[in-house]
Amino acid sequence: TQLLEQSPQFLSIQEGENLTVYCNSSSVFSSLQWYRQEPGEGPVLLVTVVTGGEVKKLKRLTFQFGDARKDSSLHITAAQPGDTGLYLCAGHPGGGADGLTFGKGTHLIIQP
């Protein structure tokens, strides 16, 4: 059983459409991070959410942390081909400084 469940696993949409991907858990996280990874490269940090109910915006990307700090979502407005990649959520269940627990990721393809 994955501690962090991401959905959908795969998503292919047309340029200009909006989309939302989800990261859910039955455990409480002190914070969650969202990373984007391109093939053959390491994950690149997009955002960290810390406070329950927090909303952070990064240009066309909107990240939300659930009130109970067990889930998070990423919404992309007017998707562009450059948004294509693997979107990973990660966190430390219950806090801590050791390794991150990652979800399996959402593979996103934006078709021109």
Partner 1 sequence: DTGVSQDPRHKITKRGQNVTFRCDPISEHNRLYWYRQTLGQGPEFLTYFQNEAQLEKSRLLSDRFSAERPKGSFSTLEIQRTEQGDSAMYLCASSSRAKNIQYFGAGTRLSVL
Q: Which two tokens stand for residue 8?
A: 């959908």
99 binds partner 1 (CB under 8 A): yes
**Residue type for 103, please?**
G
Q: Across the strands, what pairs with 12?
A: 109
Measured between alpha carbons, how far is residue 96 from residues 6, 48, 99 in Å? Answer: 22, 15, 9
Backbone CA torsion sign across 100, 87, 23, 51: positive
The single residue among 21, 103, 108, 110 that binds partner 1, judged by CB under 8 A, is 103
Choose between 35 and 65: whose C-beta lies nearer to partner 1: 35
Residue 97 makes contact with partner 1 by CB under 8 A: yes
Out of 49, 88, 108, 110, point to the residue binding partner 1 (CB under 8 A). Answer: 88
Touching partner 1, residues 28-57 (CB under 8 A): 33, 35, 40-45, 48
Residue 95 DSSP SS3: coil
Does position 1 interact with partner 1 (CB under 8 A)? The reply is: no
Pick out residues in 4-23 that bind partner 1 (CB under 8 A).
Answer: 4
Q: Is the dihedral of CA 48, 70, 24, 112 positive or negative?
A: negative
**Site residues, partner 1 (CB under 8 A):** 4, 33, 35, 40-45, 48, 88, 90, 92, 97-105
